[in-house]
Amino acid sequence: MIAPNVEQARKEFLLVSSARESIIIIWRVGTGGTMQTIIRLPTPKKQKKGRSTDRPWITVKWPLPNKIYCSSRNNELVQWTVPKPPRGEGETMKVIHDDHAGLLFSIATSVVDYINRNWELPLEHVVWTTSQDRQLICYRIDGEETEIEKLAMYSTFGGVPECLARNDVNPYRVAVGTSGAILKIWDMTHTTDKLVSMQQLTQKIHSRVTCVVWHPNNENIVAFGTQEGRVGFFDLEDKSGVPKVMPHLFTKEVYKLQWAPLKDKSYALFITSEGKLVTSRCGNSR
C-alpha cells in the first residue's frame, strides 16, 4: 500500500520595503522577487508650510502581522491595516499624528512576544518617531484603535549646546545656541516630565551659535552671534521666523553680546569680536 503524498505546511516570509517613490511594496521571500502587495501613499492635497516639496525618503516599520507604519510626504505617521479589511469594518489607512515639522526618518515600536502572544486579543502598543526637527514623539494606540494618546514629546539637540541665556522679563523662557547652527527657545511654562518642547530657529544661521542675549525690556526679542561673525535679532512674535541680520562686520567668532541703555534711554546692542567693540541699534552699527 502506498502512503498518500501529504503536502507539508511551509512557512512563508514577507518583506516590506520603501524608497522615495510614494509606494510601499510587500514582497514574498523566496519567489524570485514576486511582489505580493503594493500600497500607494496618498498625494498631499496641500503642502504644509515649511515642509519640503522634494520627494522625501519613506521610512517603514512592520511591528504587527496586520499593522504597518510609515512616514508620509507631509511628515505624518501613517498606519496601514493589512490585508485590507472588509468594507464597513475599519479603515485601511489612519494618520496617527502629524506633529513633526521635518522629515520623519525613524519609527520604533514596543516589542511584541510573537511566540506566546494570543492574537485573538487586542494589543495595546506604543510608537516612537523622530525627524529632522529633532523631536522624539511617543503615542499609545489601544488594542481596539479607538484611542490614540500622546505619551511624550522630547526636544533634542542636533549639536553641542554652546551658550544659554535666561529671559529677564520671563524667567521661564530660555534661549540655547548650539553647534548645529540652531537657536532653541525653551518655554518651561509648558514643560512637564513627559513634554519638553522647544521652538527651533534656523533661518539665516549658517554656523555655530556662540552667544545669545535677550532684550532687557522685550521678552520676544533675542539677539545671537555666530562663529562666522554674524549678528542678528529674532522677534518671536514674527511668525515667519526670519531674523533681522546686521551687515557682516566681522569674519571671526562673536564672543559677547550685551544690551545697554543709551543717553536717550533706548537700548543698543554691544558686540565684541576680533578685538573690537561695536554698538548696534535698529540694525545700524558704529
Domain ranges of the chain: 14-41+52-112+119-155, 161-285
Comparing CA positions, the residue from 233, 215, 275 lying closest to residue 250 is: 275
* Domain 14-41+52-112+119-155 -> CATH class: mainly beta
d(CA 158, CA 87): 45
Supply the pLDDT for residue 42: 83
Q: Which CATH number fits domain 161-285: 3.20.20.10, 1.10.10.10, 1.20.120.160, 2.130.10.10?
A: 2.130.10.10
Please give the pLDDT value at position 4: 56
CB 127 within 8 A of CB 151: no
Write down the pTM of the prediction: 0.75
pLDDT for the residue numbered 46: 62
Cα(202)–Cα(193) distance, integer angstroms: 26
User: How far apart, in Å, do the first and last CA atoms of the chain sit?
Assistant: 107
* CB-based burial label for 228 (10 Å; 0-12, 13-18, 19+): middle
Chain-centroid distance of CA 78 in Å reads 15
Contacts of 70 (CB under 8 A, 6+ apart): 18, 24, 41, 58, 59, 60, 61, 77, 78, 80, 107
Query: For strand 148-155 and strand 195-196, is the pairing parallel, antiparallel, or unpaired?
Result: parallel
pLDDT tens track, the chain, 286 positions: 555 555 555 677 888 999 998 899 998 887 776 677 888 888 876 655 545 556 889 999 998 888 899 999 999 999 998 887 777 666 789 999 999 988 999 999 987 776 777 766 767 889 999 998 889 999 999 866 668 999 999 988 878 999 999 999 998 999 999 999 999 999 888 778 788 888 889 999 999 999 999 999 999 999 999 999 999 999 999 989 899 999 888 999 999 999 999 888 889 999 999 999 998 875 444 4
Quote the pLDDT of residue 33.
Answer: 66
What angle is formed at CA 97 by the lines to CA 45 and CA 20, rounded to 5 degrees?
Answer: 60
| DSSP sequence for 137-154 | EEEEE-TTSS-EEEEEEE
d(Cα 219, Cα 237) in Å, to the nearest integer?
10
- Looking at residue 281, its pLDDT comes to 76
Question: Which secondary structure element, helix H or strand E, spans residue 279, and what is its range?
Answer: strand 276-281
Measure the CA–CA gap between 51 and 103, rounded to whole angstroms: 8
Domains 14-41+52-112+119-155 and 161-285 share a fold: yes
The pLDDT assigned to 285 comes to 47
Residue 33 C-beta-side C-alpha neighbours within 13 Å: 0
